[in-house]
Amino acid sequence: MSLQQLFSTYGGMYVKAYAATLEMTVVSFVGAMVLALLVTIARVCPISPLRRLGDFYVQVFRNVATISLLIIFYYAFPYLGIVWNEMTCVIVTTILVAASFGSENFMSGINTIGVGQIEAARSLGLSFGQILRQVVIPQALRSAVLPMTNLLVAVMLTTAIGSQVPLNPQELTGLVSYINTMSVGGILPFAVSALLYAGTAFLIGLAGNAIDKRVRILR
């Protein structure tokens, strides 16, 4: 199959698939960041059961195979009466896993702050919540820009698990399987998807570097 044939037959589907990949990437990443922040706050809060719960969360979801989690949500949960559509399953899976890595990124950001600044804030009479908002979170966010950029790329690639459930419209990886089932496409359909993934990752990397340069904290 030539590139021309591929695009004339499947061009429209590629556009839709790329849009689906981007949509799931953005929604998953935003969700993962919010959840990662909550988990991280739990992990540093003064209440020790909450701290342990946060650590436990990270241990579980950092160490689980993403695809098996998706299979549980899509194929097993309906037996429990919980039925989510395909896209929801992909997004929830990606959020849960990415949040554990995101929390680790935030934790290493927090560890760079140093106990001294926190003691200084306590000495001024700031409460735990104020110290988080004023001192810890702003610095953790800024020093997490580069690792979170990597995580965003990883989230995009993770949405390829959507190929394992009947998504409609399909995302980039699922579309390739579809094309190769419908017609003998050879390596070309893979190459097109790979190029779209890699190009997007490249742009994400540029954006991440630019943001990091602007917000980086001088030490």
Partner 1 sequence: MIELRHVQKHFGDLHVLKDINLKVEKGEVVVLIGPSGSGKSTLCRTINRLETIDSGEILIDGKPLPQEGKELAATRAEIGMVFQSFNLFAHKTILDNVTMGPVEVLHRDRKEAEAEAMELLRRVGVAEQAKKVPAQLSGGQQQRVAIARSLAMHPKAMLFDEPTSALDPEMINEVLDVMVGLAREGMTMVVVTHEMSFARRVSDRVEFMADGQILEEGDPNEFFDHPKTERAREFLESIKGH
Q: Cβ closer to partner 1: 28 or 139?
A: 139
| 207 belongs to the binding site for partner 1 (CB under 8 A) | no
Distance of CA 185 to the CA centre of its chain: 30
How far apart are alpha carbons 47 and 170 in whole angstroms?
44
Q: Can you tell me which residue has the tokens 């935003």?
A: 30
Shortest separation between residue 102's beta carbon and partner 1, angstroms: 20
Q: What residues contact 123, with CB distance under 8 A and at least 6 apart?
A: none
User: Does 127 contact partner 1 by CB under 8 A?
Assistant: yes
The verdict on 108 binding partner 1 (CB under 8 A) reads no
Q: Which is nearer to partner 1, 138 or 169 (CB)?
A: 138
Give the nearest distance from C-beta 43 to partner 1 in angstroms. 20
* Cβ closest to partner 1, residue 77 vs residue 128: 128
Task: Specify the residue, 120 or 195, whose C-beta has the smaller distance to partner 1.
Answer: 120
Smallest distance, Å, CB 173 to partner 1?
Answer: 40
Provide, rounded to whole angstroms, the least separation between the CB of residue 39 and partner 1: 22
What is the spatial distance between Cα 34 and Cα 82, in angstroms, rounded to a whole number? 24
If one asks whether residue 28 binds partner 1 (CB under 8 A), the answer comes out as no
- Under the binding rule (CB under 8 A), the answer on residue 5 touching partner 1 is no
Query: Using the rule CB under 8 A, which residue among 130, 177, 180, 183 binds partner 1?
Result: 130
Which part of the chain contacts partner 1 (CB under 8 A), choosing from 13-21, 26-34, 129-137, 170-178?
129-137
Instruction: Count Cβ neighbours within 10 Å for each residue of 184-211 and write b for 16 or more, e otherwise.
Output: ebeebbbebbeebbeebbeebeeebeee
Q: Which residue's CB is nearer to partner 1, number 95 or number 118?
A: 118
Distances (CA, A) of 109 to 2, 3, 74, 216: 49, 46, 35, 12
User: Considering the rule CB under 8 A, would residue 117 count as an interface residue with partner 1?
Assistant: yes
Per-position DSSP letters for 102-143, written without gaps between them: HHHHHHHHHHTT-HHHHHHHHHTT--HHHHIIIIIHHHHHHH
**DSSP conformational letter for 74:** I
CB atoms within 10 A of CB 180: 15
Tokens representing 144? 């997490």
Q: How far is the CB of 151 from partner 1 (least distance, A)?
A: 21
Residue 120 binds partner 1 (CB under 8 A): yes
Chain residues that interact with partner 1, rule: CB under 8 A: 113-114, 116-117, 119-127, 130, 134-135, 138-139, 142, 217-219
